A = this chain, B = another copy of it.
Amino acid sequence: MKIGVDVMGSDLGPKELLKSCLRFVNENDVQLVIYGNQEELDSIDHPRIIKIPTTYVLTMDDGPLAVKRHPNASMVKAITDCVAGENDAVVSAGSSGALLSCGVMISKMIPGIERPAFLAAIPNTIGTSTVLLDMGANSENSSDHLCQFAVLGHAFAQTTMNIEHPTIGLLNIGTEDKKGDLVHKDAVAKLRAMEKINFTGNIEGRDVLNGVVDVLVADGFSGNIALKTVEGTVLAFNQMIKEVIKTNRLTMIGGYLIKEELTKMKDKMNYQKYGGALLAGLNHVIIKAHGSSNEEAFYNAIRQAHKLVGGNVVDKIKRDLL
């Protein structure tokens, strides 16, 4: 297996991401094909790392035209090579917008799916994972997009989580079918009419983490708000617990006694561990890692690509949709 890695365009720079590459290739029997500026690539060397020097880095200011204009941008080259079979998946921590443009123009949409969605399986409080999509690939969606996301999520849960009839919910501002704006009301009616999926109804923000459904479909705007709000609240809580423990000597001893279990709990809700988001709906495995990925987060994004390619997930989703 060959995983393509675009090491350019992240907040912490290529050096941080190259550390993840080196660790991953040392720990796993795979080849990595790394795309980036020559001087960055010069700093790394491994028998199972193939280096492809590129000469441009797409940014969030680059629109679709730039994808055509810069065939030698790291992201463009990585995905073009993926389509040509030179690598089996692409991982990037570069601009989301640019990656979406590259994905749609080069890998192209699976027939029947109009828009890609950021998809991730996020940890929930019942100890399993909830597939959430779209987490922000789109800033607005039609009810048909939401139905297509449901089909993608259904196929993803079946394929990667071995759930035969995954339950599917729609993120909305109330549980009743008539809640929300026109797009969501319309989507509920359409989802209820789809025989192939097991749609259980609307889900409110307070149940995002409770594992009440296997797949939570959201429009890109509210999916993004919900995910980032969970992340922010988790961080705030971790910070507050730290302060509770630091209060005085007794609380410090208390903190010491619960430390091991507390760390396990924090690990469970550590979103860095869960790698990046799959650009679901494209013909290839393209993973968006967080722009601020550190070594661990980017390592996990590569690991996720590895797992999805190993499980033949995109092919299975495509077969399932046809």
Q: Are A173 and B225 in contact (CB under 8 A)?
A: yes
Q: Is A280 on the interface with B (CB-CB < 8 A)? A: no
Q: Which residue in B139, B181, B232, B245 is a CB contact (below 8 Å) of A221?
A: B181
Q: Is A229 on the interface with B (CB-CB < 8 A)? A: yes
| Interface positions of A from 246 to 278, Cβ below 8 Å from B | 247, 250-251, 253-258, 261-262, 264-265, 268-269
Q: Is A239 on the interface with B (CB-CB < 8 A)? A: yes
Q: Are B244 and A229 in contact (CB under 8 A)?
A: no
Give Cα distance in the complex from A262 to B251, angstroms: 10
Q: Is A240 on the interface with B (CB-CB < 8 A)? A: yes
Kindly report which residue of chain B lies nearest to residue A240, judged by CB atoms.
B265
Residues of B within 8 A of A222 (CB): 221-222, 225
Q: Are A258 and B230 in contact (CB under 8 A)?
A: no
Give Cα distance in the complex from A237 to B235, angstroms: 11
- Tallying the copies of this chain within the complex gives 2
| Interface positions of A from 217 to 236, Cβ below 8 Å from B | 220-222, 224-236
Q: Are B232 and A234 in contact (CB under 8 A)?
A: no
Q: Which residue in B233, B234, B244, B269 is a CB contact (below 8 Å) of A262?
A: B244
Give Cα distance in the complex from A139 to B237, angstroms: 29
With known contacts A229-B226, A234-B237, A265-B241, A181–B258 Cβ distance under 8 A: no
Residues of B within 8 A of A254 (CB): 253-258
Give Cα distance in the complex from A225 to B268, angstroms: 23
Q: Is A179 on the interface with B (CB-CB < 8 A)? A: yes
A92 to chain B, nearest CB (A): 17
Residues of B within 8 A of A253 (CB): 254, 257
Give Cα distance in the complex from A250 to B264, angstroms: 16
Q: Are B173 and A220 in contact (CB under 8 A)?
A: yes
Kindly report which residue of chain B lies nearest to residue A252, judged by CB atoms.
B257
Kindly report which residue of chain B lies nearest to residue A262, judged by CB atoms.
B244
Give Cα distance in the complex from A200 to B152, angstroms: 38
Chain A 133-162 near chain B by CB (<8 Å), digits 1 or 0 = 000100110000000000000000000000
Can you list 9 A-B pairs with a CB-CB distance of less than 8 A?
A: A205-B226, A205-B230, A205-B231, A208-B232, A225-B229, A237-B237, A241-B265, A254-B255, A255-B258
